[in-house]
Amino acid sequence: MTDSRISPTKVSSTSVRVPGVASTAIRGVITGPATGAAVLANAENAVWLRIGPEIIAITIGGARRPNGIRLPEGTGVELLEHIDEESTVLVGNGRIVIKELSVTAAKWWDPHPRPPAVDIDELERRVENLPDGIPGLETGRLQSALAAMSAGGILHSSRDLLGKGLGLTPEGDDLLNGALAATRVLGEAAGKERLVGLISGVSTPLVELADARTNACSAALIRLALRGQIVESAGDLLCALAGRGDVAASHVGLIRLNRTSGPALAAGIALAARALVESGKHS
């Protein structure tokens, strides 16, 4: 069943219930006991909420986000426009209530892509034409660290990327986000248990780095990427690199996500895929 079959309903004379599709990464927060939350940011067709260390994005249409709940296209736009940092927010018991808007988690999706098993030689061929750089960012050290499976190198290169570049989530963060998720997801698909274990091993210090060096929205996405959880269009590219889907079409879909995050995520995925190929040839 698609989002088009979901429609808003009146809860009372002053509130509107809008069912959405939510990420399983935030299921515990959404379905847990009701608790207060704060509005962190508001942009066109999107609102970000903060509940302790968790960030939840409410979006209208577009790609499903690993920490988000997506509403049907065109639904609730006028309600989101009037939400600000002073708005009272309650999250829990399966819904998010903000002013007149009551968002319910009607469906769930898994933000951890599950691509088929991938052969290193096939991965090398599929990633061959994808760009892996962003102007103004040094990415070579991260690729070398991943290829060498160096925990210290990953942390050092991540420190240099976090908070750098343009965008609400800076490009350096997005590139790192794509690279971390790709290393975990493609590493699992290629049977590279040591590489997957490496990402798990750097999780705690890398999360601490992200919390210290970038904004809360980006840091939350880094935490998810370390678990292999990523925005839907990036997951499509990861699956295509493993042989399920068209690589060129998936790449275009991701870079169109938005002006900065899409290209940076795609570059991070390509960088990590090349590092996986390099490490695979020497193991």
**3-state helix/strand/coil string of the chain:** CCHHHCCCEEEECCEEEEEEEEEHHHHHHHHCCCEEEEEEEEECCEEEEEECCEEEEEEECCCCCCCEEEECCCCCHHHHCCCCCCCCEEEECCEEEECCEEEEEEEEECCCCCCCCCCHHHHHHHHCCCCCCCCCCCCHHHHHHHHCCCHHHHHHHHHHHCCCCCCCCCHHHHHHHHHHHHHHHHHHHCCCHHHHHHHHHCHHHHHHHHHHHCCHHHHHHHHHHCCCCCCHHHHHHHHHHCCCCCHHHHHHHHHCCCCCHHHHHHHHHHHHHHHHHHHHHCC
Q: What is the pLDDT of residues 150-190, one digit of tens each?
A: 999 999 999 999 999 999 899 999 999 999 999 999 999 99
Q: What is the pLDDT of residue 163?
A: 96
Give the domain ranges of the chain: 3-109, 120-281
Does the structure show a pLDDT above 80 at 44?
A: no
Share of the chain above pLDDT 90, in %: 81
Higher pLDDT among residues 74 and 127, named by residue: 127
Sign, Cα dihedral of 215, 231, 112, 159: negative
Rounded average pLDDT over 81-86: 86
Q: What is the pLDDT of residues 233-260, one digit of tens each?
A: 999 999 999 999 999 999 999 999 989 9
Share of the chain above pLDDT 70, in %: 94
Q: What is the pLDDT of residue 123?
A: 97
Q: How confident is the model at residue 74 (pLDDT cuts 50, 70, 90)?
A: confident
Tell me, yes or no, if the pTM score tops 0.85: yes
Higher pLDDT among residues 22 and 11, named by residue: 22
Q: How confident is the model at residue 282 (pLDDT cuts 50, 70, 90)?
A: low
Higher pLDDT among residues 73 and 277, named by residue: 277
Count of C-beta atoms within a 10 Å radius of residue 259:
11
Count of C-beta atoms within a 10 Å radius of residue 22:
28
Does the structure show a pLDDT above 90 at 110?
A: yes
